[in-house]
Amino acid sequence: MIRHDPLAVRVAAIEPLSATLKRLTLESADGGALPIGSAGAHVSLILEGGDRPFRNAYSLVSMPGERGCYELIVRRTAGSRGGSAFIHERLGEGSVIGATVPHNLFPIQRHARKHLLIGGGIGITPLLSYLPALRQGGERLELHQISARDEVPLFENLLAPHAAHDVHVHAGRGALDLSALLARQPLGTHVYVCGPAALMDHVEAAAAALGWPASRVHRENFGAAGGDPFTLRLARSGREIAVGPDQSMLDALEAAGVPVPSLCRGGACGECLTKVTGGVPEHRDHYLTDLEKAEGALVMPCVSRAKNDLLVLDL
C-alpha cells in the first residue's frame, strides 16, 4: 500500500490505432501486480531521452481495477519534440520506463443520478474507463464524442465494446447542440467533459447559463505537480542547487544534504517555512496567508516553486 514513485513498467505491446494514435500496454517490470487504476485516473510516464527526462500524463483506458496492466492511448502532437514524439518514434516493445502511481483528479461522482459524458478528440480516453465502471454499477449514462470527420470510424471502433443507444459519435463540434443536450438532462445529472480547453470552457459556460451548480460540472485536469526547473541559491553559503522539473525544492535541498525540517510534505503544517531573500516564489501551499504570499518573503519548499530561474533562500 505504501508505494514509492516511480514504478518501473515494461512496454508489453504497442498497437497503432491511426497515423497519430498508439495504444500502449504496460506491465510491472518485476512481473508483480500494479497499483490499482480507477475510472478517470491517470499516470505520468517518465521517459529518459535526450538531455532531460520527459514527463507526460495519460489517462488509463484499461478496465478499472485491472492490476495486470495499464493501457493508455498516446496522440502524437503535431511538431512535438517532447514525450509524445518520443513514444511514437523511439519507444519499443520491451522498453522499461518509469510511471507514477495512478492518481485520480477526474473521479466518477458516485451519488449522481445520471452521468453525461462529453469527449472531444483524444479526450475520450478517461471516458473509456468510465463506461465499464458505470455499466457494471447499472448507472444511467449518456456519452457524446465529438470527433474530426475523418476520425469518426476510429472513435466508433474504440467505443465499439460499449456501443449502445446511449453512446454517440458526432462529426465536428457543429453536429452537437451542447445547450440543448444539457437542457434536456434530468435533475441530479452530472456532466463530465474532457477534450480541448475550448470545448471544456464551452460546456462549463453552457451549463452555468442553464443554472447548473458548478459542483455538477467536472472537467479533466491533470493537476500541476512539478513545473519548470530552477536554481536555488543558499544565501549563507552561496551554494547553488538545481531543482528538477519533477522534484520539490525540499527534495532537492535534502538530496544536496541541506536539512530542512518537514512534516506533512504537502503545504499544510508550516514546518518547512523558509525565508526568501531573492527571487519570486510561486506559492502552492495552504499554510501562508494571502498577504504573506503576496509579500513573497516566506516560502514552503515542500510544494512551492519559483516564478523565475533563481530563488535565494536564507539558508
- Contact footprint for ligand FES (CB under 6 A): 262-265, 267-272, 285, 287, 300, 302
Which residue number, 95 or 262, has a Cβ lying nearer to ligand FES?
A: 262
6 contacts other proteins (rule: CB under 8 A)? no
Interface residue with other proteins, options 29, 266, 277, 307 (CB under 8 A): 266
Nearest to 156 by CA among 64, 173, 164: 164
Instruction: Return the SS3 of 201.
Output: helix
Alpha-carbon gap, residue 125 to 184, rounded angstroms: 25
Does residue number 269 form part of the binding site for other proteins (CB under 8 A)? Answer: yes
Question: Taking a C-beta distance cutoff of 8 angstroms, is the pair 144, 170 a contact?
Answer: yes
Q: Does 265 bind other proteins (CB under 8 A)?
A: yes
- The CB density around residue 5, as the number of other CB atoms within 10 Å, is 13
Give whichever of 59 and 147 is closer to other proteins, judged by the CB atom. 59
Quote the least distance from Cβ 3 to other proteins, whole Å: 4
User: For residues 96 and 263, which CB has a smaller minimum distance to ligand FES in the complex?
Assistant: 263
Q: Which residues contact 306 (CB under 8 A, 6 or more apart)?
A: 230, 232, 243, 279, 280, 281, 282
| Least separation in angstroms between CB 272 and other proteins | 12
- State which residue, 167 or 232, has the beta carbon closest to ligand FES: 232
Are the C-beta atoms of 105 and 218 separated by less than 8 Å?
Answer: no
Contact between 108 and other proteins per CB under 8 A:
yes
SS3 214: helix
296 interface partner picked from ligand FES, other proteins, none, CB below 5 to 8 A per type: none
Partner whose binding site includes residue 300, from ligand FES, other proteins, none (CB under 5 to 8 Å by kind):
ligand FES
Bridge partners (DSSP) listed for residue 217: 191
291 touches other proteins by CB under 8 A = no
Helices (H), the chain: 83-89, 125-136, 152-159, 178-183, 197-209, 249-255, 290-295
Dihedral sign for Cα atoms in the order 211, 213, 218, 222: positive
When the beta carbons of 45 and 252 are compared against ligand FES, the nearer one is 252
CB atoms within 10 A of CB 314: 13
- Torsion over CA: 99, 102, 105, 108 (sign): positive
Q: Count the site residues for other proteins by CB under 8 A.
A: 33
**Applying CB under 8 A, does 19 fall inside the site for other proteins?**
no
In whole angstroms, the minimum distance from the beta carbon of 254 to ligand FES comes to 11
C-alpha 21/C-alpha 128 separation (Å) is: 15
Closer residue to ligand FES, CB minimum distance, 263 or 297 = 263
Residue ranges in contact with other proteins by CB under 8 A? 1-3, 5, 35-38, 40-41, 64-65, 101-104, 107-111, 137, 215, 263-270, 286-287
